[in-house]
Structure 1
């Protein structure tokens, strides 16, 4: 009876959070930090954001030796004996810096009005794309992780808004960040297809005469052709 009364007064001992609960808490903390950093990035001029990204990329180059060696190996495969070791090392460092600059600049550009973004972009071959789309022929843009690849989802509606537009993306590990990034990418009307869900809908969009952008250097999975 005494033990029962104690249970009624004090209640059962609180259970520690489960592993899944801890992961959700960690994801929320990361999302909170991401949004806080985004507020700072949006408040800064684009040039300052680019410089900050280069600085953070330099820190990443210093702090991530495994990725630095991976980049160096890729540069060696690409250039062989055409460049010296010093030139290869400089190229790897600049790659990290530009990667950071483009990452942060993409976050800034996502918050800017479309006309302001378009004013920063020079294009080539747009007339050829217009000719195919207006003739009802689908267009596939084979893109790569070079430059500010996030810009494509923002700028395509400015030039080709009359046609169905889409892109294939890879879902991010943090659900909250993934939802937010998807909203940013789709805010001008670009439809997003999760590559893990197959390509049936993407093929349907192409058959309707639309355009789709695909990052061709992504891993296509064990059943892919690339």
Structure 2
């Protein structure tokens, strides 16, 4: 019953004008903050760890705004899945770093895009696919109906979805060697056995994926960070060069550069980061 209701809600949100969907999503996020549940608790813990200079009422305002923005992200994602690239293109009101993306592609070595959980990451894939063919990792949700909705929404023109297994990694390697784009969500905690190294994230030790390091070393690809910042009337796409340490042969140095790349993005729009994610699980208390 819950899955059916969630699917109806997402499909309904996907048909609404963007401003209306944002309003409803923001209200849902505000209710998440007001209820003081798990998402609010984890958001407070993460902000206390990563932004210790923000305290008291200022931190609580940030908690509220963060959860409100997360609610908007859900509503927007439903719209992105349901609508065409032409619709989304009309809502991309600005692009920062277009020359960075084009220069990376011009290298011919393939481009690995770090797309952190910032702003609306569902906007990033169709945006990237407007430059070149995109292959992105995809881990299906447990609910079959939701999986069908998301996979159909993401599998659009010029986009290939790769499973989170060896076959999927092989797809990523082949795409990079063809000079195409590969997209990865870099701030997810890797599952046991999937390759992880501890490195600082906002000064806290965090288990960090080594997949990016492996792909860079095996292909010589270029790496950039991309996020879709929520702005009035739509989205501002931001493309930034990755921290140079990400190219290091040393895995610890490389994953440190990965986390620094994510931090640089987050600091551009801290209220739009997904602070309710348990980023520091499976990590030691000290580096």
- TM-score, length basis structure 1: 0.78
1:200 alignment partner, one of 170, 175, 178: 170
- Residue 110 of structure 1 deviates from its aligned partner by 2.4
Higher share in helix: 1
Matches within 5 A, 1:1-226: 29-80=1-52, 82-121=53-92, 122-158=94-130, 160=131, 163-197=132-166, 198-223=168-193, 224-225=195-196, 226=208
Q: Which deviates the most, 96-105 or 193-202? A: 193-202
Tell me how far apart the structure 2 counterparts of residues 39 and 204 of structure 1 sit (CA, whole Å): 34
Tell me how far apart the structure 2 counterparts of residues 83 and 156 of structure 1 sit (CA, whole Å): 34
Tell me how far apart the structure 2 counterparts of residues 40 and 67 of structure 1 sit (CA, whole Å): 24
Q: Highest CA radius of gyration, 1 or 2?
A: 1
Higher share in strand: 2
| Residue number in structure 2 paired with 1:21 | none
**Long gaps (5+) in structure 1:** 1-28
**Long gaps (5+) in structure 2:** 197-207, 209-287
Deviations 1:16-72 (CA, angstroms, capped at 9, x unpaired) = xxxxxxxxxxxxx44432332234213321101001000001112223433322111
Tell me how far apart the structure 1 counterparts of residues 178 and 85 of structure 2 sit (CA, whole Å): 26
- TM-score, length basis structure 2: 0.63
SS in 2 for 1:104: helix
Tell me how far apart the structure 1 counterparts of residues 5 and 38 of structure 2 sit (CA, whole Å): 25
Aligned-residue Cα RMSD (Å) equals: 1.8
Deviations 1:92-142 (CA, angstroms, capped at 9, x unpaired) = 111111001111111112222312312222212222222332342211111
Which fold has the larger relative contact order, with Cα–Cα distance below 8 Å and residues 6 or more apart in sequence?
Answer: 2
State the aligned residue count.
194
